[in-house]
Chain A
């Protein structure tokens, strides 16, 4: 079924990327080979916390084939330490100072201590084994709550405290104002019919992209540094390399390979390994490559969540939610990761805590503690997986207390109309939460389910239903991104028309498999009335693309395609201005139609020109032009919405629990989504499937585990368990969309926050099934072992 160009927006086109990806002809970082390339291996700390008494590299250096061995001290006077403004948020925090390799002290198991460069990877690994580090083990800091107590050992001694960041979202700029607001919240709690109070614990889990990190740096004195990096943010990495290595800006080019095996946030920070490799390439004047092993990856990145929330909710007995009060404590890990430092995720998680519900007031506070663990790194559902779990569970607890259906209580408390500003001052721009909710409920026959549940219980079987929903960021506006990360939020795209009627699009973000080539091509094809196959999309090369803050926060469907659409609009204006001149008619762009490869004058359809000829005339034959026009067809547009934008989704889950073993089976998962205008339903479905599976896998299986000495116990896939296809249910995705009024096409960015409503919905379903036992679960991971233990406790067997 060939879609006509006008149907392109919303067409289920197969992805342009897929043929090369599924036939093994994609080109990833590890496929790029340069003559004379050297191979790097990091020697990593065996301890969570230890003083380095000495490092002996002599045996490693003596090994045939070894080119260089660096230790921390080699960088101390040659690269600038982090923090530097480009990799540091605009938030007040105790930023630890660090260099690419540990100096004097190691602060987590897996921290880089030495860097070996050799002619091949085998020799490099051999040499890494010969580097002898003399450690004096120190007491590790592993529990974030205890880390904040007086007398705790310190991760970063110079800071005098393990509290890297703390904040209150209670409102008010002074302590007095905040106290006044906190008192107002307290008065609501005093007068409330119902108060639910619980400690919610979410474990350390996150994301494991199929392709780990990697970097290849090439230096020559004429052009400077070219760095191929597995990254979501090549333009930010470029600035970081310029600033930290003190290289003139014209001498640094960063290229994110076109094919990347996923990012999901892990490839958004600026990493110390990249800086070390760039330094080595410059020092050695040879290409140097580092490809991360899975073991290193699981020890160093993708670790997120890991938070305790002491949440109280005040409600009326009719189910109206009144106020929330939360005291969050997040485990930051070591905090030596550029751009995010760890605490930026829990910060946003606290902001997003109120979710889609109306509250009269909120008192939300957060403390973040450094520990001797890997730094938190962004992992899709940036920051708010723990807070969303807490709030969605607490809402169900309120419903149980007041004797209401949780779904009815949710609907009653959903923000009824937008725009709306939450009690934590988050702006929700547009959409229709109630319509999304009603669409979800239309997929689920709740009375029939309750009847089935009652019959099953009578037969000794335990079914449960659970709900959850989520307001998610659709792109990250400058208004949020500048204070949060010191970076702009706008989307940028260059659209270049080719004299042969093809279109080249250049974007500075760097996707990792989301299908941007396809969605962008569909947008361009629909606007110019051509085929998606006529459009080529280039991303990720700072040498050819306009500045972009990166593939983060669902920016593609919100900001990037909007910039593309605006650039196309400018070019259509110019094409029609010149075509009107050539046709000797008074007309502007709205009098023309771009359709089926032609530009047609609507006033007289015989006046038309093929798209290719119209374009070629302007690029190649710029004579007899209208007054003031020059030739050429290329435009760079920057799109910035005035306010932050959102998307919204809701989940329903049905489970059956085996009350003998605690095993549970997900029998149904159905969703309702407001993703705005859909560009390609295949791609949107895929985003939702992937995000929901990630949410389930995080909630049930995945867990980064440290032992009492801070040793990482989960650094392989035997121990860090990922869901397989057989472990997840069929997922029924349904849509109730409202076009976004703030983007030119009505599109919304999707996928980033989507996993976060999953653990609440799942756990709510399990607790609904176990309601006869009075079981409320407030911790993750949700595993049969835990459910079984709760059942034993409920039966008085524990």
Chain B
């Protein structure tokens, strides 16, 4: 585990400095280093051979959790541990704390970041799935000074692939103020405690005053295609009362149509079982939080 030669290393203190450092590199030859929990392994094993590293750890403006009138912004360099222990993030944002609480181990949670995780977009990862389930938006800044905002659905393209361009830096992930009676949850199953998800399920629901489900987002982790929405479950949850029978039917439908695969951790049929059993538990928790 000895990296190939890295020609340049920059440790900017501001976003402007970070983008300037990036602009000095050939496109695609620099790698932003966030928490380093995935990228450093890839670099040390020479799967990645960057010419330059732009280390974002000293960029204070990329860190922090802001709640303004219910709208949430999480800086890209905010650590899992900070998200996990933020007592304000229940209810509509419960999926985010659920996911952040069980990424890796303590060491990983104290180094790894939300931005690093969504930009890496590993094939089986909790954070992209939780962000997708809750409908987060990715706010990007480019070396040209331009900024843009992308929905998670448009940002997460597939395993290790995102819509971020080589000249862009993820600044933050943000959420509009959630509607009243919104709840979300996330859970995963792995062979050992806090392992990467064999299957992970994130659910966000909104109920109207009568208890009818008027918004439902379901996302899955652990499929070969990476984090993805589960529309088969969403359509059944929509308009329902969030009752157990509907939830069962929704995740049975999702499990039936999910493109599961067999690997060292579980076979394709068992992944379907996990989608059902985890989905049931997670959706129930999301509705409970919506009602709370």
Contact = CB atoms under 8 A, between A and B. Distances in A.
Contact of A701 (B2, B4, B46, B191): B191
A137 interface: no
B1 A295 contact: yes
A198 interface: no
B271 to A, nearest CB: 9
Nearest to B198: A785
Interface string B265-280: 0110110011001000
Contacts of A784: 270
A785 B267 contact: yes
Nearest to B190: A721
Given A122-B5, A701-B192, 12 more contacts: A122-B3, A293-B1, A661-B273, A701-B191, A713-B264, A718-B196, A721-B192, A721-B195, A724-B192, A785-B267, A785-B270, A788-B273
B192 A126 contact: no
B192 A661 contact: no
Given A122-B2, A295-B45, A785-B270, A719 B192 contact: no
Contacts of A785: 266-267, 270
Interface string B253-287: 00000000000101101100110010000000000
Interface string B1-40: 1111100000000000000000000000000000000000
Interface residues of B, number: 22
A126 B4 contact: yes
A727 B1 CA distance: 28
Interface of A: 121-122, 125-126, 129, 293-295, 660-662, 700-701, 703, 705, 713-714, 718-719, 721-724, 726-727, 783-785, 788-789
Contacts of B193: 724, 726-727
A125 B45 CA distance: 10
Contacts of B208: none
A215 B4 CA distance: 24
Q: Which 10 A-B pairs have the closest CB atoms?
A: A726-B193, A785-B270, A125-B2, A661-B277, A785-B266, A721-B192, A721-B191, A122-B2, A727-B192, A121-B2
Contacts of B82: none
Contacts of B167: none
Contacts of B191: 700-701, 721, 783
B116 to A, nearest CB: 17
Interface in B64-92: none
A726 B195 CA distance: 11
B104 to A, nearest CB: 11
B194 interface: yes
Interface in B187-231: 191-196
B67 to A, nearest CB: 31
Contacts of B269: 789
Given A122-B5, A660-B277, A723 B267 contact: no
Contacts of B5: 122, 126
A695 to B, nearest CB: 15
Contacts of B1: 293-295
Contacts of B2: 121-122, 125
A726 B194 contact: yes
Contacts of B105: 724
A723 B192 contact: yes
Contacts of A783: 191
A422 B192 CA distance: 39
B273 A705 contact: no
Contacts of A714: 264
Nearest to B2: A125
A93 B264 CA distance: 34
Nearest to A661: B277
Contacts of A122: 2-3, 5
A121 B2 CA distance: 7
Contacts of B196: 718
Contacts of A126: 4-5
Contacts of B192: 701, 721-724, 727
Contact of A661 (B3, B264, B274): B274
Contacts of A121: 2
A783 B195 CA distance: 15
B107 to A, nearest CB: 12
Contacts of A661: 273-274, 277
A713 B269 CA distance: 21
Given A121-B2, A661-B274, A726-B193, A719 B266 contact: no
B239 to A, nearest CB: 27
14 contacts: A122-B5, A126-B4, A129-B46, A660-B277, A662-B273, A718-B196, A719-B264, A721-B192, A726-B194, A727-B192, A783-B191, A785-B266, A785-B267, A788-B273
B148 to A, nearest CB: 33
Contacts of B195: 721
Contacts of A294: 1
Nearest to A785: B270
A129 B46 CA distance: 10
A283 to B, nearest CB: 24
Contacts of B194: 724, 726
A769 to B, nearest CB: 18
Nearest to B3: A122
Contacts of B45: 295
Nearest to B4: A126
A722 B192 CA distance: 7
Interface in B154-179: none
Nearest to B266: A785
Contacts of A726: 193-194
A703 B270 contact: no
Contacts of B3: 122
B264 A703 contact: yes
A373 to B, nearest CB: 16
A345 to B, nearest CB: 24
A708 B1 CA distance: 27
A433 B45 CA distance: 51
A789 B270 contact: yes
B194 to A, nearest CB: 7
Given A295-B45, A722-B192, A726-B194, A705 B264 contact: yes
Nearest to A781: B191
A661 B278 CA distance: 10
Which of B5, B45, B193 is the most central at the interface, judged by chain A CB atoms within 10 Å of its CB?
A: B193
Nearest to A41: B2
A635 B246 CA distance: 80
A294 B45 CA distance: 11
Interface string B84-116: 000000000000000000000100000000000
Nearest to A714: B264
Contacts of B274: 661
Interface in B126-159: none
A408 to B, nearest CB: 34
Contacts of A718: 196
Nearest to B193: A726
A722 to B, nearest CB: 7
A648 to B, nearest CB: 31
Contacts of A705: 264
